[in-house]
């Protein structure tokens, strides 16, 4: 099966080994079929693999092996020499870790040579995470009891309560939310569906929005979209961005607040409270737990602060 991100196309370097291209294509097909990655994510993996295969060809390597750890380290050093920052190098390493892990799991390699290589120290830098107090200030900054305000509060509450992407939030249908059970059905990247719970605060806000605000915003129109603007038009990502910036400014938050800030805060607060990393991965809709692991610094930092505060020799 061929994918859009296949490496066996006109971009193929003559020096590259066809069997390596075939392995890379096999891995990309696995990501497409088994992991359900989006076309954009798949294209990014393909570009990273293409660069690595060209590196192997330039160094006279016609195959991969379980002893490629030194070669991988040399590749990461070359990326740094080429001017790539730690975040970009970390993304390349995540791609190659997945590739080698796949080859080892399929029995193509006897061992995974990338398993012991750590991400660059600054890793995948997160945007600012809001504290619980800052989240409360943001939610309190929704101004009044107008229909649009009830809608805005419900959107903010649900985004934080379920850790949604803003694209997922604005595309929700009314039937995706189960108020009685307290969960939302989300269609995420790669058309992968997940079920995410939400708490009482979000439930109250959504319920009030549905009963009091949404009918007034719809007027004589009909729509299956959960969050609507005037005349029944779907709420847009740009409209949500604008509203969020206004609320953040009104709340006096000095941090840069984006829709993703609430998603990051959701994950960080769960882990800080002791949630299992695998559970957070499922709720975020991450295909690979290595993506979720960038949040674990929060739990480590909190433990360090507690140790310094309470240990007699902290």
- What does the pLDDT look like over 89-137, one tens digit per residue? 888 998 999 999 999 999 999 999 988 787 655 545 555 689 899 999 9
Q: Which of 165, 203, 214, 264 is catalytic?
A: 165
Strand 177-178 and strand 193-197: pairing?
unpaired
pLDDT at 8: 42
Residue 2 has pLDDT above 50, yes or no: no
Fold category of 18-105 in CATH: DNA polymerase; domain 1 (1.10.150)
- What does the pLDDT look like over 203-260, one tens digit per residue? 999 999 999 999 999 988 999 999 999 878 999 989 999 999 999 999 999 888 988 8
- State both tokens at 18: 């066809």
Residue 297 has pLDDT above 70, yes or no: no
- What does the pLDDT look like over 160-180, one tens digit per residue? 999 999 999 999 999 999 999
Residue 54 has pLDDT above 60, yes or no: yes
pTM for this entry:
0.60
pLDDT at 183: 94
- Decide if 215 contacts 223 (C-beta within 8 A): no
Does 313 qualify as catalytic in the annotation? Answer: no
pLDDT at 17: 60
Half-sphere exposure of 115 toward its Cβ, with a 13 Å CA cutoff? 12
pLDDT at 264: 87
Does 260 qualify as catalytic in the annotation? Answer: yes
Does 165 qualify as catalytic in the annotation? Answer: yes
Q: Which of 216, 245, 260, 304 is catalytic?
A: 260
- Decide if 245 contacts 166 (C-beta within 8 A): no
Does 263 qualify as catalytic in the annotation? Answer: yes
- Provide the sign of the torsion angle of the four alpha carbons 186, 141, 246, 294, taken in this order: negative
Using 50, 70 and 90 to split pLDDT, how confident is the model at 285? Answer: confident
Q: Which of 16, 89, 203, 263 is catalytic?
A: 263
pLDDT at 213: 94
Q: Give the start-to-end residue ranges of the domains of the chain.
A: 18-105, 132-305
Q: Which of 52, 100, 102, 295 is catalytic?
A: 295
Q: Which of 189, 203, 264, 269 is catalytic?
A: 189
**Class of domain 132-305 as given by CATH:** mainly alpha
């Amino acid at each position: 099966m061929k994918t859009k991100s296949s490496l066996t196309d006109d971009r193929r370097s003559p020096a590259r080994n066809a069997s390596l291209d075939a392995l890379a294509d096999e891995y990309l097909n696995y990501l497409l079929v088994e992991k359900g990655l989006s076309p954009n994510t798949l294209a990014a993996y393909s570009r990273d693999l293409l660069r690595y295969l060209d590196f192997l060809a330039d160094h006279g390597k016609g195959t991969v092996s379980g002893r490629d750890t030194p070669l991988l380290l040399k590749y990461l050093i070359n990326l740094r020499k080429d001017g790539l920052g730690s975040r970009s190098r970390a993304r390349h390493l995540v791609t190659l870790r997945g590739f080698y892990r796949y080859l080892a799991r399929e029995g193509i390699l006897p061992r995974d040579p990338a398993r012991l290589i750590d991400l660059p120290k600054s890793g995948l830098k997160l945007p600012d995470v809001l504290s619980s107090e800052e989240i409360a200030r943001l939610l309190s900054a929704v101004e009044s009891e107008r229909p649009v305000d009830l809608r805005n509060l419900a959107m903010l509450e649900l985004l934080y309560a379920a850790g949604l992407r803003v694209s997922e939030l604005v595309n929700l249908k009314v039937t995706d939310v189960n108020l009685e059970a307290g969960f939302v059905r989300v269609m995420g990247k790669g058309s992968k569906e997940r079920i995410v719970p939400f708490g009482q605060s979000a439930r109250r806000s959504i319920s009030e929005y549905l009963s009091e605000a949404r009918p007034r915003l719809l007027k004589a129109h009909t729509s299956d979209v959960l969050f609507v603007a005037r005349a029944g038009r779907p709420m847009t990502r740009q409209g949500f961005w604008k509203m969020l910036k206004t609320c953040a400014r009104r709340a006096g938050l000095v941090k840069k607040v984006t829709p993703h800030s609430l998603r990051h805060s959701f994950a960080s607060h769960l882990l800080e409270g002791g949630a299992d990393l695998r559970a957070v991965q499922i709720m975020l809709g991450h295909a690979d737990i290595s993506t979720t692991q960038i949040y674990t610094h929060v739990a480590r930092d909190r433990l360090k602060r507690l140790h310094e505060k309470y240990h007699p020799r902290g």
